Amino acid sequence: MMLSEPIITSTANRRIVEARKLAQRKHREQQGRFLVEGLQLLHMALDGGARPDTVFHCEEQMTGPAAPALLERFRRTPATILRVSPAVMDALAERELAGGLLATFALPAPQLSAVKLVSPALILVLDRLQDPGNLGTLIRTADAVGAAAVVQVEPGVDLYDPKTLRASMGSLFNLPVIRTGDVAALFRWLAERGVRPVGAGTHAGKPWGEGLWQGDVALVLGNEARGLSPDVAAHVHAWAHLPMTGKAESLNVSIAGGVLMYAWLRENWQK
């Protein structure tokens, strides 16, 4: 006779306490893992090769066939599978629509050496962004245009902040997203591979980046409040800006970055 699966009913359970701490960056870094909720994001994490650590599921909150099918997919991985009560799932989930299933994954640490460049290639370089929504949106757009990688110059907002994950719509799992604090090494790596940095400014350089997008390019975007830091700007010798004919003084970095990434794609579009 098959025994029923034990159910965790207390939020004081050690595994639950540790998982709830993952809402904070310091605990994500200390534990070396992050929490993902949402059935689509969980599927995309597995599709992208993320390594699941622990899966929490609540049968009472699963409606329809999607969540049970995803749970069976997790059962085919080495992850620890834990059943929890509705109250515990509510304590773990940040949103009400978790679907009765969430999981922790090991924090990846991709390196520049793992980036595969196939010309024409685009690399998105983000200089110490502070808003998780902007970061996630830019990663999603980079994925949409087929960028080879996204590089986040540290210190900046955490890639694995729940808001970043949601804003990326799972694209964080689709391409290498690399963190580095070594600006000189980053631009040396780009130069050695013939990737030309193009910085985005409010008024600097050529409107629309005309003539700058052909081939292998690194689009370099600055911090929301300060723009490009001096140590990053020192490596940029070509600049692009978007014309503004209204009264707005500037554009949101994710909007500007999206337009310029599509300017690159249009120039290099291969049907």
> pLDDT at residue 104 above 80?
yes
Judge if 130 and 225 occupy the same domain: yes
Last residue of a domain, one of 106, 127, 153: 106
Q: pLDDT at position 1, please? A: 34
Q: Nearest 5°: CA angle at 262, between 253 and 246? A: 55
Three-class SS of residue 25? helix
Q: Write the CATH number for 197.
A: 3.40.1280.10
Of 187, 189, 164, give the one whose Cα is nearest residue 177.
164
Both 249 and 132 in one domain: the answer is yes
- For 194, the domain range is 112-268
Instruction: Tell me the mean pLDDT in the region 1-10.
Output: 72
Distance CA 56, CA 87 (A): 12
With beta carbons less than 8 A apart as the criterion, state whether 200 and 221 touch: yes
Residue 204 has pLDDT above 80, yes or no: no
Residues 144 and 41 in one domain: no
Q: Which of 133, 140, 142, 137 is nearest to 162 (CA)?
A: 133
Of the candidates 84, 106, 128, which is a domain's last residue? Answer: 106
Return all residues near 185 (Cβ < 8 A) that are at least 6 apart.
none
Question: Is the pTM of the predicted complex or chain greater than 0.75?
Answer: yes
| Among candidate residues 143, 140, 106, the one with its CA nearest the CA of residue 122 | 143
- Reported as a single tens digit per residue, the pLDDT across 29-40 is 999 999 999 999
Looking at residue 97, its pLDDT comes to 66
| One-letter amino acid for residue 193 of the chain | R
Count of structural domains, the chain: 2
76, 119: one domain: no
**Of 106, 124, 151, which closes a domain?**
106
Return the structure tokens found at 122. Answer: 């685009």
Q: Place 212 in a pLDDT band, splitting at 50, 70 and 90.
A: very high
